[in-house]
Amino acid sequence: MRCLVTGGAGFIGSHAVQRLLRDGHEVLAIDDLSRGHAEAIDLLRQDAGGRLSFERVSIQDHDGLVNAAGAFAPQAVMHFAALAYVGESVQQPGRYYAVNVAGMLNLMHACADVEKFVFSSSCATYGQPPAELIPVPETCPQAPMSPYGRTKLIGEWMLRDCARAMELGGRPVGVAMLRYFNVAGADRSGLLGEDHEPETHLIPLAIDAALGRRDSLTIFGTDYPTTDGTCVRDYVHVEDLVDAHVAALDALKPGRVLAYNVGSGRGYSVREVIDTVGQVVGSVVPTVEGARREGDPPSLFADPSKIRRELGWKARAGDLREIVADAASWRTSHPGGYAQC
Ligand SMILES: NC(=O)c1ccc[n+]([C@@H]2O[C@H](COP(=O)([O-])OP(=O)(O)OC[C@H]3O[C@@H](n4cnc5c(N)ncnc54)[C@H](O)[C@@H]3O)[C@@H](O)[C@H]2O)c1
């Protein structure tokens, strides 16, 4: 299958490209490299046997996208390209709507002939679910609390509306919206990893603190109504997440609209993550206690039973230690990230 992957030089997108190539597909990766890494693409090309092409183009560039997609004629799209920092989205909402909403609309227009479209949505679309809806099922009302979360929810709406219009027009398309929880870990072969600038995710930050690459890790809030007072989140291994994409791609048929949570179904507190990182790296994570961050729900973890039931997907790395070990292994062997490999 010819698959177009946006954000293919980013953390999750590069792992998806790797998996698609392993499965024998032909891939066009698109990325503006604003937050992705050309090195990840170069590494992936080495074993791709000519099946990976790359275009440095922004999803905000409508004509560039039309040209790239027109020449490749994709049958499927996996759409990862986005701005993805909640805090930044509060400060620069216009940028988030421009990339995540208007950019996605450009992409949908440029790829109007595809058979299947898989979209990176987020648990941020749920906002702060009521306590009785934790673990969160897909039926939980979506009430995002940040511009970032709202852009992802609008993305879901756009896809649903366009899928319906295509069906009415006699050209049905299959679309899947995957609501990820916290994605972490790294490719088990050691080629790819997570390298964000700035880094905002807990596991890489804690690993860097344990390795002495940063002075300390700030714990935002220690007075939440959770077992140890810190926030509880659901961590999913990036390779498991990619498995979910492949399962969705396989399940998509013309006219099918799928929406799934992709998480392990288990919640870990910030302190549990810090302890696990300390054990894996073999040194204590230096921490400082800070105030709560606005909009951080106390506890957010998935009910992943729907994707298990319907697609047979389940996180293989159910244990946090495995996720942390893979992340730590890549970070330890790439002290400066991709640029230094
Ligand atoms: N990492 C997580 O825990 C998580 C959780 C929920 C949802 N998501 C979603 O998954 C997707 C991938 O996340 P990630 O962690 O890999 O982020 P990432 O920043 O590593 O990857 C995003 C990629 O998109 C590219 N990009 C940004 N703007 C672009 C534009 N205008 N045109 C073309 N490319 C552009 C960046 O250069 C980057 O390579 C995002 O859509 C994100 O919202 C991630």
Residue entry with tokens 């809806």 = 133
82 lines ligand 1 (CB under 6 A): yes
- pLDDT of residue 210 exceeding 50, the answer is yes
- Average pLDDT for residues 235-252, to the nearest whole number? 98
Beta 268-269 vs 232-233: how paired, if at all? antiparallel
Compute the distance from residue 138 Cα to the ligand 1 centre, in Å: 22
Residues 145-202 pLDDT 10s: 999 999 999 999 999 999 999 999 999 999 999 999 999 999 999 999 999 999 999 9
What is the spatial distance between Cα 142 and Cα 256, in angstroms, rounded to a whole number? 21
Q: Answer yes or no: are the C-beta atoms of 155 and 117 closer than 8 Å.
A: no
pLDDT for 13: 98
Q: What is the pLDDT of residue 341?
A: 42
- Report how far ligand 1's centroid is from the alpha carbon of 41 (Å): 15
- CA 317 vs CA 217, 311, 323: distances in Å: 25, 17, 7
The predicted pLDDT at position 262 comes to 98
CA atoms of 259 and 137, how far apart (whole Å): 11
In tens, the pLDDT along 4-35 reads 999 999 999 999 999 999 999 999 999 999 99
Q: Whose CA is nearest to atom 2 of ligand 1?
A: 183
pLDDT value at residue 339: 76
Rounded CA-CA distance 5/26 in Å is 10
**Whether residue 126 lies in the annotated active site:** no
Give me the CATH topology for the region 2-184+237-262: Rossmann fold (3.40.50)
Q: Residue 297 in 3-state DSSP?
A: coil
From the CA of 34, give the closest atom in ligand 1: 37
Residue 173, class by beta-carbon neighbours within 10 Å (0-12 exposed, 13-18 middle, 19+ buried)?
A: buried
Q: Hey, what are 187's tokens?
A: 């490719």
Q: Is 34 in the pocket of ligand 1 (CB under 6 A)?
A: yes
pLDDT of residue 40: 98
Question: What single-letter DSSP state applies at residue 133?
Answer: G
**Neighbouring residues of 142: CB distance < 8 A, sequence distance ≥ 6:** 125, 126, 127, 153, 156
pLDDT for 340:
47
Identify the pLDDT of residue 286: 98
Residue pair 80/6 in contact by the 8 Å Cβ criterion: yes
For the chain, give every domain's residue range. 2-184+237-262
Rounded Cα distance between 144 and 125, Å, is 4
**Bigger pLDDT: 165 vs 293:** 165
